[in-house]
A and B are shown apart, each in its own frame.
Chain A
């Protein structure tokens, strides 16, 4: 089944403790992206990747890192999480700019 998977689905952590949210797609998509969704602010793009080893900042990249070492994986790294990074995170992928984006199920992160 074609899909985008994220792990973990739920995570509660403390301020400053490094964490990684994994994202994987099995559709051989070139493009992958991370978003966060917050009440009243909607979905905002954090980082995106056009291909292996090619990444760029979205609208809200501060406090996040990404890497794309393999085509199928695009992990989101929070080196020192803070409470303002409490949010619902989504990973998405597509074949390219002209193709529809497919979204993962989301990761609900709480930073205390």
Chain B
């Protein structure tokens, strides 16, 4: 059974720092992996989608990588800002249209 783990569970950094969030999954048979951001009490905002055949995707200050063979993805945030404070979730899409989410990393960027 596919399991998705995100480490660390929480992270506090000073403004301007570059940081990496980790997502690992136990079964490499995935269709894609998607990173989301969730603000408190709000819905999920899609950040990046990486197909299983891709190695990375970039959007602005965000870069997501995927190493399917090792079951790992990282989300790199450059020059963090207080507005980046949120919970970051990764989700893998597996066979049968199922989606498995990690528990998330709660990020706090201090001004």
Contact = CB atoms under 8 A, between A and B. Distances in A.
Interface stretch (A17-25, A37-45, A76-84): A37-45
Contact of B43 (A97, A99, A105): A105
Q: Which of the four size classes fits the interface of chain A?
A: 20 to 34
B102 A42 contact: yes
Interface in A78-109: 90, 92, 97-106
Interface residues of B, number: 23
Given A105-B42, A106-B43, A98 B97 contact: no
B109 to A, nearest CB: 22
A33 B104 contact: no
B10 to A, nearest CB: 14
A101 B42 contact: no
Contacts of A99: 49
Nearest to A45: B99
Interface of A: 31, 33, 35, 40, 42-45, 48, 50, 56, 58-59, 90, 92, 97-106
